[in-house]
Amino acid sequence: MVGPRKTNRWPVVLWAAALCLLAVSASAQKFYPDDPLVKEPPPLPVQHANFRALSELMEFAANSFSKPGERHPLPHVIPAGDVNTLGEVMDGAWYVNRHARLRLTPEELRRGPGDSQPPAMDVPWMVLVVKKEGLRPGILIADKNQNLYLLRFDPPGAVELATGADMVTSRFFHALGYHVPEDYIVYFERSQLVAADSGEQITSLGKSRDLQEEDINNFLLKAAWDPQRGYRAVASRLPRGWEKLLGPFQVFGERSDDPNDIVPHEHRRDLRGLAVFCAWLNHNNMRAMNTLDVLIEEENVESIRHFLIDFAGSLGSGIREPKPAWQGNEPITGEKIFRNIGGFGLITDPWMRAKYPKIAAVGRFEAETFDPEEWTTNHPLAPFLNRLPDDTFWAAAKVMAFTDDDIRTLVGTGQYSDPAAADWIARCLMERRDRIGRIYFDRVLPLDGFRVEANELKFDDLAVQHGFAAARMYRIQWSQFDNRKGTHQPIGAGPTESLALPEALRQSPAGSYSCARIDGGNPALAVLAYLRREADGWSVVGIEREWPGKSLATSQIQTTAGKAQKRYADLTDRQRALFSGYAAAHSERSGTTHTPEDFFNSLPISEQTTFDAVTHALIHSPLTDAGGQSLGVAIDLVQGIERIAGQYYGRSGDQQFRLYCFMKPAAQETLVKCREFSRDEENTIYHTGYPHSYRQAGKPPSIQISMSADGAKADIDVDYRSSKLPSALFNGHLTSANSDVRAGDNFKAHSGRWAGFVAWWQEVFRKMGKVEGESEAATLPKFLPEAPTPMSPDRPAGAVIDDLPEAVAEFLADWLVRRQYGEVREFLSPRLLACVNIDDDVQNETIRADEAKAKLREVMIAAVERLGRRDNLTEAVDAVMPTNPDRKVVEQPYDGDFTVIELTNAEARQYLCDPGEYDASLPPDGRGVYYGVIFKFKLEGSGVLGLLWTRVDGRWQIVAYRVFAQ
């Protein structure tokens, strides 16, 4: 049960807490026995992954001019999702903890992902492909062992610039923990390359033709050549079975065909923290195009591993030239355009005056003007922009693990012929490393390496350790932690400076948990270290970091984030029948058992609204033939639901907010025959896989049914904006908002065409479109002048009111008219407050029980202020009638102001915020215990509020409330 989110004084964390009720009831503990996990569980097999490319130009446009991917719902933030309870990324398909945890030896650092298979030099290489221009120009060769390598070269006049950067950065990323290809620096003469009989030259039109020797000569004309050593290239070894390359991974969203990819990429710590690593190594060219998904097989299971590739644009290299000075300091689209225009060149930034060595192999790389916080990639990337202080701390700790010697070792892999080049690069990396540590260790309390030794908690202060901060005193508040309930029981009178475990904890039994909240003098910067009593000591099982203003949200993608949930019971029979089939199929595929209701209620809000809106439109769209004979309604064409596509941040509009359906055999024939739909232009760019488009007649909104070639499936959505040119270019038709019923005025448009649809997802005080053309039974009240209902007398505080309508009237009058909040509180059951404040868990909220009460008061006051001065109840509220004719409406004197409905016990139960409080002994069909009161505020655009009343200790009180879904 959730309450309305009215103002930003009602933190989203409450929503998270409330909505986590479902999670809590299913997995009601913070830590599991196997926490912290070091390694991800073995992956599920990937059975049908296919290659998918991305476009450099589209990525540039999307990242630079829109905001793909989910961003933080400020002022709240979404924590990283791929971490264990210590905040560490687990070893898996994305990342493997290496140098920071294991201290690689110099040899291991140099070796990187592998150095045992360089291209064999004793026999000429067969050149398979030569590509001179475009994306990733280079030469593909096979050596005598049939190993494949992609050769990439330096630009003329800058030997070692790009290849050195590529090699060094690749080794750094490997040591940091990422999957990177196996790279080798090779030197060779022209005679080492021989055109293979089956070799291909990629022509200037992107096609291929037979390869000739002179093609290789022409290619090498544009490669740097050293008189002493010949051509120098980085040879990247392609994996065996390289046909299993799946293309780049996107930096937001998830891969839709990978069951193991369950955390949106913009919320992965290894990708958020990558921002810090890229800043360190000046890899401003980082983007989705520089990644690669590869299908690998381990222990007979095929799964996808995610690689970073192509580092030639890092350090001081701009790939084809020394890196332009702006790169790394500004994105391609600039940041200070108007200042630079108006300043006539007189205003400069520090990076413009940076000094670089005149060493061709170094290019433009320095540390003097380096600011890790200001550094940027060429394109803004969603995970980089989402980074939080704990993400950057994680990354900074990894960076600081590299000693000066480690850095020199890794720079040595670039094989720079000029010692000055290697020295400069190494010194710059050292300085940049320190700047990263200095800045990011200051954003949190930089404690790490927690352990318990001799009953004393120990940790490392990384800032102190590295000389960025003076030694400090720590204050610790110890508590016993209830892992099931998520509550803390403080120990002692207050914080102590002692790190010794209190006696109470030392006596606790094995399996119990405790917590140490540590700050270094600044209470806003704190670390919570969770300990578990083991049979033979203590283990640190959880770490959480606090920083000023931290307020967690839960991802909107997967939760309803505080919005009212549509209940399954409110769907029509037709909708429920359709959904049941989908739920059953889901059960079978997932191997789990659930009811359709449970499954529906667990869907993200966007999937619920999509299913509701599309099926609602289909149900209310009759079909007739040319002679006017009925052909049923559009929903009759649908056999079943294959998939519901809700909101997927960053995906194109034609992949969101639609139903993918199995169609009945005669569906396409019916569409052709009916007058209401007509064949539209074939889908050639969008709706991939569904080429035949049928559009509903009339102005938008209209249903579009895109059929597969065989007519067996369809992609069905509602277009709320015109698809006709030129308006489609400007009205958002090509965006995801086109098919999202919640966006803009789409709801209003939907209701205008298909009656009876209610924006149940909106909250009480948010604007809701006027519903027109509804049936009488579902009419929302109009604001007509009416005679005020006589107000009930103002009863004194503590008075017991036997009559429910009188109690309701008293409550509403005290609240909205008299503003007597103290007396209002008497109508609020503790169960209501308990519902609002799920728990006292420090992790996911900053609200405690007493604070929740205060918040509720604030909300009520805010409501009154919004409403303004009202002299009586009739001026404040209006009754709303339920659309469901089965609801038993109680006659009462205030039926112009609010509606009282007698609910069955079973009906009431679904509105309780804590089902655990429900008395299971009550007969489900019994009545007289619970009553619902619904009304609407007399405000333009107001929603409908429902209150659940019952007797608590003889008094009528409210035990739940919600935005009412008709």
Within residues 325-384, the interface with other proteins by CB under 8 A covers 325-326, 330, 332-337, 340-341, 344-345, 348, 351-354, 356, 364
589-618: contacts with other proteins (CB under 8 A): 589-594, 598-599, 601-602
Nearer to other proteins (CB atom), residue 198 or residue 348: 348
Q: Quote the tokens at residue 176.
A: 């940091």
> Per DSSP, what are the bridge partners of residue 638?
663
Nearer to other proteins (CB atom), residue 85 or residue 290: 85
What is the rounded distance in angstroms from the CA atom of residue 99 to the CA atom of residue 104?
A: 5
Q: How far is the CB of 713 from other proteins (least distance, A)?
A: 12
Nearer to other proteins (CB atom), residue 267 or residue 435: 267
Q: How far is the CB of 554 from other proteins (least distance, A)?
A: 6
Nearer to other proteins (CB atom), residue 87 or residue 177: 87
Cβ atoms of 914 and 948 closer than 8 Å: no
Q: Is 479 helix (H, G, I), strand (E, B) or coil?
A: strand
Q: How far is the CB of 338 from other proteins (least distance, A)?
A: 9
478-497: contacts with other proteins (CB under 8 A): none
Task: Select from 2, 17, 19, 527 the one that contacts other proteins (CB under 8 A).
Answer: 19
Where does this chain touch other proteins (CB under 8 A) — which range of 6-14, 22-30, 408-416, 754-762? Answer: 22-30
R_g over Cα of the chain: 32
> Per DSSP, what are the bridge partners of residue 201?
130, 209
Nearer to other proteins (CB atom), residue 109 or residue 388: 388
Q: How far is the CB of 22 from other proteins (least distance, A)?
A: 5
Q: How far is the CB of 640 from other proteins (least distance, A)?
A: 15
Nearer to other proteins (CB atom), residue 391 or residue 719: 391
> How many Cβ atoms sit within 10 Å of the Cβ of residue 606?
24
Nearer to other proteins (CB atom), residue 353 or residue 770: 353
Count of residues in contact with other proteins, rule CB under 8 A: 112
Task: Select from 4, 68, 69, 264 the one that contacts other proteins (CB under 8 A).
Answer: 264
520-579: contacts with other proteins (CB under 8 A): 554-555, 557-559
Task: Select from 4, 79, 446, 486 the one that contacts other proteins (CB under 8 A).
Answer: 79
Among residues 965, 957, 953, 832, the alpha carbon closest in space to that of 907 is found at: 965
Nearer to other proteins (CB atom), residue 143 or residue 261: 261
Nearer to other proteins (CB atom), residue 47 or residue 191: 47
Task: Select from 17, 167, 263, 618 the one that contacts other proteins (CB under 8 A).
Answer: 263
Where does this chain touch other proteins (CB under 8 A) — which range of 16-24, 673-681, 743-751, 771-779? Answer: 16-24
Where does this chain touch other proteins (CB under 8 A) — which range of 322-330, 785-793, 820-828, 947-955? Answer: 322-330
Angle at CA 575, nearest 5°, toward 574 and 576? 95
Angle at CA 138, nearest 5°, toward 133 and 142? 145
**Amino acid letter, residue 179:** H
Task: Select from 58, 510, 729, 854 the one that contacts other proteins (CB under 8 A).
Answer: 58
Q: Quote the tokens at residue 283.
A: 């890899």
Q: How far is the CB of 255 from other proteins (least distance, A)?
A: 6
The site string for other proteins over 779-818 (x = CB under 8 A, - otherwise) reads ----------------------------------------
Give whole-number Cα distances, 163 to 232, 263, 668, 813, in Å: 8, 34, 57, 77
Give whole-number Cα distances, 751 to 334, 429, 720, 745, 756, in Å: 43, 60, 11, 10, 7
Nearer to other proteins (CB atom), residue 608 or residue 950: 608
Nearer to other proteins (CB atom), residue 92 or residue 437: 92
Residue 196 has phi, psi (to 5 degrees) of: -70, 155
Q: How far is the CB of 790 from other proteins (least distance, A)?
A: 47
Nearer to other proteins (CB atom), residue 539 or residue 572: 539
199-238: contacts with other proteins (CB under 8 A): 202-206, 212, 214-215, 218, 221
Cβ atoms of 114 and 60 closer than 8 Å: no
**Amino acid letter, residue 534:** E
Q: How far is the CB of 50 from other proteins (least distance, A)?
A: 6
Q: Is 217 helix (H, G, I), strand (E, B) or coil?
A: helix
Cβ atoms of 657 and 717 closer than 8 Å: yes
Cis omega (within 30 of 0) for bond into 548: no
Cβ atoms of 739 and 731 closer than 8 Å: no
Where does this chain touch other proteins (CB under 8 A) — which range of 318-326, 484-492, 517-525, 694-702? Answer: 318-326
120-149: contacts with other proteins (CB under 8 A): 131-135
Q: How far is the CB of 28 from other proteins (least distance, A)?
A: 9
| 638-645 and 630-633 strand pairing | unpaired
Q: How far is the CB of 428 from other proteins (least distance, A)?
A: 16
Nearer to other proteins (CB atom), residue 231 or residue 811: 231
Q: What is the DSSP string of 381-409?
A: -HHHHT--HHHHHHHHHHHHT--HHHHHH
Q: How far is the CB of 326 from other proteins (least distance, A)?
A: 6
> Per DSSP, what are the bridge partners of residue 153?
233
Q: How far is the CB of 112 from other proteins (least distance, A)?
A: 29
Cβ atoms of 425 and 167 closer than 8 Å: no
Task: Select from 10, 68, 72, 84 the one that contacts other proteins (CB under 8 A).
Answer: 84
Q: What is the DSSP string of 664-727?
A: -TTHHHHHHH-SSEEE----SSSSTT--EEEEESSSSSEEEEEE-TTSSEEEEEEE-S--STTH
Q: How far is the CB of 96 from other proteins (least distance, A)?
A: 17
> Taking the alpha carbons of 582, 587, 590, 593 in that order, is the dihedral positive or negative?
positive
Nearer to other proteins (CB atom), residue 336 or residue 724: 336
What is the rounded distance in angstroms from the CA atom of residue 193 to the CA atom of residue 195?
A: 7
Angle at CA 197, nearest 5°, toward 192 and 201? 80
Q: How far is the CB of 792 from other proteins (least distance, A)?
A: 42
Task: Select from 74, 123, 262, 800 the one that contacts other proteins (CB under 8 A).
Answer: 262
Cβ atoms of 414 and 164 closer than 8 Å: yes
23-42: contacts with other proteins (CB under 8 A): 23, 25-27, 32-35, 37, 40-41
Among residues 695, 730, 690, 729, the alpha carbon closest in space to that of 710 is found at: 690
> Taking the alpha carbons of 281, 282, 285, 287 in that order, is the dihedral positive or negative?
positive
Among residues 429, 179, 202, the alpha carbon closest in space to that of 290 is found at: 179
Q: Does 44 bind other proteins (CB under 8 A)?
A: yes
Give whole-number Cα distances, 546 to 232, 319, 392, 552, in Å: 49, 41, 13, 11
Q: How far is the CB of 33 from other proteins (least distance, A)?
A: 6
Nearer to other proteins (CB atom), residue 554 or residue 746: 554
672-731: contacts with other proteins (CB under 8 A): 684-686, 688-689
Nearer to other proteins (CB atom), residue 320 or residue 475: 320
150-209: contacts with other proteins (CB under 8 A): 202-206
What is the rounded distance in angstroms from the CA atom of residue 212 to the CA atom of residue 537?
A: 71
642-661: contacts with other proteins (CB under 8 A): 643, 652, 655, 660
Cis omega (within 30 of 0) for bond into 119: no
Nearer to other proteins (CB atom), residue 257 or residue 806: 257
Nearer to other proteins (CB atom), residue 351 or residue 930: 351
